[in-house]
């Protein structure tokens, strides 16, 4: 192998990596958006066949299901917010509560949605470091609950419930209860932690210590 072939090989590898870095995020984004648009388009099946856009327009336009899904969500939200809607919702939930298996699934999903989507909810708003799966090994986690009642009473400790996600799929993971004084709260935002998890730890958010921030502030003009 000549001395000139090595740099050429390195250049080829560098160009290939540069191409992957450009197209891989684009491809993943395209696939995710296409999946979500296709999922939303399934809501068009709720319409009678003769009123579906494909039949009326004669062509298929991807994404029209998003409009219908948005309208359904808005309409049901308006209905659920008034007195009549709340009464109908109580009747509906009362009916589901009488079905043994269904009430467990519905109740769990409802509690999760209320906790995560509520403006006052405190779930998934803190990124933590916990020693998991063993002492000396640190994992990123999200605080999900800090009022555990029976768990705190029977352990005799002030514990918090945290979710330790897996990588690169953060929607799966483990629920563990950790003593409050054994968790470390991080400054990074939840979306920054998710990027770090999905990227297998490659994308690490930039962090400035309080000392560095104070030093930079003291050097800024006008101080």
CA 113 to chain CA centroid, Å, is: 12
- At 177 the pLDDT is 93
Strand partners, 131: 138
Is the distance from CB of 65 to CB of 36 less than 8 angstroms? no
Read off the pLDDT of each residue in 45-58 and give the average, rounded to a whole number.
80
Task: Identify the helix (H) or strand (E) that includes residue 123.
Answer: none
In the β-sheet with 159-165, what is the strand arrangement from edge to edge? 173-179, 159-165, 138-145, 127-131, 184-185
Angle at 116 (CA atoms; ends 114, 117), nearest 5 degrees:
65
- For 77-100, the pLDDT digits (tens) are 888 778 777 888 888 888 888 888
- Judge if pTM exceeds 0.75: no
């Amino acid at each position: 192998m000549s001395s000139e072939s090595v740099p050429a090989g390195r250049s080829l590898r560098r160009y290939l990596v540069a191409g992957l870095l450009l197209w891989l995020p684009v491809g993943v984004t395209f696939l995710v958006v296409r999946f979500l648009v296709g999922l939303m388009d399934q809501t068009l099946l709720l319409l009678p066949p003769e009123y579906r856009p494909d039949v009326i327009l004669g062509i298929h336009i991807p994404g029209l299901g998003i409009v219908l899904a948005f309208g359904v969500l808005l309409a049901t939200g308006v209905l659920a917010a008034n007195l009549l809607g709340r009464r109908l919702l109580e009747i509906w939930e009362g009916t589901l509560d009488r079905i043994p298996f269904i009430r467990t699934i519905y109740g769990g999903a409802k509690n999760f949605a209320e906790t995560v989507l509520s403006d006052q909810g405190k779930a998934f708003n803190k990124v933590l470091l916990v020693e998991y799966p063993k002492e000396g090994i640190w994992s990123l986690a999200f605080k999900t609950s800090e009022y555990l009642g029976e768990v705190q009473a029977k352990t005799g400790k002030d514990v918090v419930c945290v979710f330790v996600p897996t990588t690169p799929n953060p929607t799966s993971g483990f629920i563990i209860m950790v003593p409050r004084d054994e968790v470390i709260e991080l400054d990074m935002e939840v979306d920054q932690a998710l990027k770090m998890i999905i990227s297998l730890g490659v994308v690490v958010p930039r962090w400035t210590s309080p000392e560095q921030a104070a030093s930079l502030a003291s050097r800024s003009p006008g101080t």
